[in-house]
Amino acid sequence: MKNRNEIDALVSLLDDPDEIIFNQIKSQLLDLGTDCIPHLEKANFENEYGPVFKSRISGITHEISLTKILKEHKEWIHHPVNLIDGVNQIDQYFFPNITKSYIQNELSTIASDISKHLSDTMSPIEKVSVINDVLYDIYNFKGDKKNYPMLLNFFFWKVITN
């Protein structure tokens, strides 16, 4: 792994107009993977480079993130231990700040609230009714009838935090 100064030096060269040099730098940054994303983001916000620089940073960051998600998702597909992990991987691509622990915490809270209202003496229909009451009345789960096809409606984190 390159040290932080070497990564910063590579990032600072992204505005080079020579396409061959840019492709070599891009290749090195892609090889570094997610380790260089903080450096790319810092340069994007702190420096006054032009639109070419910003576009290149955005493209490289996108490519690194996509490669990471695809690799993790491919591994998950071959060993799908938990459905939430697969769903969260897709959510994290679009919303990197939504972490697995955040989703698990939200689900645990919902499950805890549901279990408070359940008892072993209830019939299956009564249990479903309690689950529906908690999800739809307490947590206000509902579909977006006005903007149903809107992409945001299909992210799991958005569904459980709506």
List pLDDT tens digits, range 17-29: 899 999 999 999 9
Instruction: Report residue 8 as tokens.
Output: 């910063």
Residue 134 CA to residue 132 CA, distance in Å, equals 5
Residue 123 exposed, middle or buried by CB count within 10 Å (0-12, 13-18, 19+):
exposed
Residue 88 CA to residue 147 CA, distance in Å, equals 23
Q: Is residue 44 pLDDT above 80, yes or no?
A: yes
Q: Is residue 1 pLDDT above 80, yes or no?
A: no
pLDDT of residue 49: 77
List pLDDT tens digits, range 56-104: 999 999 999 899 989 999 999 999 888 888 888 888 888 888 888 888 8
List pLDDT tens digits, range 104-129: 899 999 999 999 999 999 999 999 99
Q: What pTM was computed for the model? A: 0.68
Residue 120 CA to residue 61 CA, distance in Å, equals 51
**Which domains occur in the chain, in start order?**
4-78 (1.25.10), 83-161 (no CATH)
Residue 5's pLDDT band, with cuts at 50, 70 and 90, is confident
Task: Yes or no: say if 72 and 102 are a contact pair by the CB < 8 Å rule.
Answer: no
Q: Is residue 13 pLDDT above 80, yes or no?
A: yes
Residue 162's pLDDT band, with cuts at 50, 70 and 90, is low
